[in-house]
Amino acid sequence: MTNASTYRRVGLIVPSSNITMETEIPALLKAREAILPDRFTFHSSRMRMKAVVKEELEAMDADSVRCASELSDAAVEVQAYACLVAIMSMGLGYHRASSEKLNRATAENGCPTPVLNSAGALVESLQEMGFRKVSIICPYMKPLTRLVVDYIENEGIEVQDFLALEIPDNLEVASQDPAAPAELWRKLDVRGVDAIVASACVQMPSLPAIEMIERASGLPAVSASVATTRKILQSLNLTEIAPGGGALLSGGQLARLPKVA
């Protein structure tokens, strides 16, 4: 039996209306526990946000310092700030400034902790995998989706096509069918792309669709939640492997249809 002292503590900085981050990231890491010895616990602090509009996103981001300090009280080993569009709405390249600000807050609280975010996790994972051109699915209104596209392209990754579902209410975003991206991707132009981003949002569920998309398209499928999980594992110096996470969490191997005898 694993001793509680060997568990890796993961801190989650979460929008108050977000319910998907605390579902998909633990699901991936719990699936990993079935094949590898590392064990994880999850600890959250919340920032108020109900509508995915720029004003609420900016106010929420300002509250992230409090969350980072609170989580450092629990001596977590890594913190993940999960609201991709909040980071991207604060200006190009802001994922780096956000991490630095929150790292500093944990140090000032006496427990220095690496703090990553889903925006940085997505673009860095795409870069690390060598994906230079993608098509993406977003739940946001079109102006915010355009902002996300511009942010990703500023990081050197071309967005060939995007689908904006135009859902402003964050709880409605979370209520979408997690398997829906397995069909939604077919509305995208994916000719010549290196990967499909099944959900450029940690609130829009997509985990069951990741490997379904890979099997159907023959392309790597990624999401903000899968990328955030990957960066959590990197921060903990653990192997970036988790069943159900597609190419990002399988050493670049695509999920494939089982062979029929």
Question: Any idea which residues carry the catalytic annotation?
Answer: 83, 201
Closest alpha carbon to 32 in 248, 205, 178, 218 = 248
Backbone phi and psi for residue 23, each to the nearest 5 degrees, phi listed first: -105, -55
Angle at 41 between CA 37 and CA 46, to 5 degrees: 150
CA distances from 168 to 6, 27, 145, 248 (A): 41, 26, 11, 29
DSSP letters, 190-228, are -TT-SEEEEESSSSS--GGGHHHHHHHHSS-EEEHHHHH
